[in-house]
Amino acid sequence: MGVRKATCYNGAMKELYLEDFKVGQRFISETRRIDSDQIKAFAQQFDPQPFHLDEAAAQASFFQGLAASGWHTAALTMRLLVEGELSVAGGIVGAGADEFRWPRPVRPGDTLTVRSEVLEVRPSKSRPEQGLVKVRSTTLNQKGEPVQIFVANLVVPRRPAPGAS
Amino acid sequence: MGVRKATCYNGAMKELYLEDFKVGQRFISETRRIDSDQIKAFAQQFDPQPFHLDEAAAQASFFQGLAASGWHTAALTMRLLVEGELSVAGGIVGAGADEFRWPRPVRPGDTLTVRSEVLEVRPSKSRPEQGLVKVRSTTLNQKGEPVQIFVANLVVPRRPAPGAS
């Protein structure tokens, strides 16, 4: 499953360097459906709380029904980003987030897609070979409702000078 | 694996309500070791980039060696929180984060632990039955170095009045 990106990483696909990013640029991902078995399997491993594991317990909880762990939503969002148009040279490397919210739960059967927008492009003062690109990635369900909003600072290399190794 | 928390959720263990939280309170988790097979398995599923999948490719990358996906670190941190002392009534439910950073990579063989501190306790104006507790959770490796800093806003119920259902 990592082959496509590995190919990209090795230079066979167009890769985006710092110089290729502009404020207002938009990227879109493919879609992915999430089902209750996946929600429960992820929760068993990483977030074993009743509202992520069991329909009846979830019904009586804050979520009023089975809901994916927010970390599952985050991980699926990453998968969609890695497979999507945001093909950063050297890979998608995040230093952290300025904003990170889950405005509503992800439910079994939801189909997710990620829309990203470049908010800021900033060369690094201390490391001239790279810069930071601030990107807002909004994960939407099939109704177009945001389920995750994540403003990340990506570490992006500058394009190497011609002839440089 | 969810049994312990489910027991807790059903009231057999001490659960923390909004009234039980105070600024400056600290909580600590157990520890968990992460190995290269786990790093690669998570990456295959959610973050298939070469520096999370393959030692040689990782050596040549920004990370200069195999590194866990930040989402893997986040998911393991959640597991440690769910199993740890921060036993919120109704479960650990995050509305989002004020701060979220990965100051350094997680490497194969690292042993992680999570230290949490309460930064703010705030009753909800619109929903009198609950409030928000702001908690900084710092994930440390075995050298005591932070690998993730996450300031979350948790939704926490107020203690029900005696006799209330």
Kindly report, residue by residue over A6-64, the tens digit of the pLDDT.
333 334 457 999 999 999 999 999 999 999 999 999 999 999 999 999 999 999 998 99
> How much is the mean pLDDT over chain A?
90
Q: Note the pLDDT of residue B11.
A: 39
Q: Note the pLDDT of residue A164.
A: 62
Using CA atoms in the order B104, B72, B40, A109, what is the torsion angle rounded to 10 degrees? -150
Q: Note the pLDDT of residue A8.
A: 36
- The rounded percent of chain B whose pLDDT value lies above 70 is 91
Q: Do A99 and B96 touch (CB under 8 A)?
A: yes
Closest-CA distance of chain B to residue A7, Å: 10
Distance (Å, whole) CA A93 – CA B58: 12
Q: How far is CA A23 from CA A18, A19, B93, B140, in A?
A: 12, 11, 34, 35
Q: Do B57 and A1 touch (CB under 8 A)?
A: no
Q: Note the pLDDT of residue B164.
A: 62
The DSSP symbol for A89 reads T
Of B1, B50, B71, the CB nearest to A74: B71
Q: What is the pTM of this model?
A: 0.89
Distance (Å, whole) CA A121 – CA A24: 10
Q: Do B75 and A75 touch (CB under 8 A)?
A: yes
Q: Note the pLDDT of residue A26.
A: 96
Q: Note the pLDDT of residue B151.
A: 96
| ipTM of the complex as predicted | 0.88
Can you say how many angstroms the Cα of residue B116 is from the centroid of all Cα atoms in its chain? 9
CB of B21 less than 8 A from some CB of A: no
Identify the segments of chain B with pLDDT beneath 70. Answer: 1-13, 164-165
In terms of Cα–Cα distance, which of A95, A100, A82 is closest to B104?
Answer: A95
Q: Note the pLDDT of residue B3.
A: 33
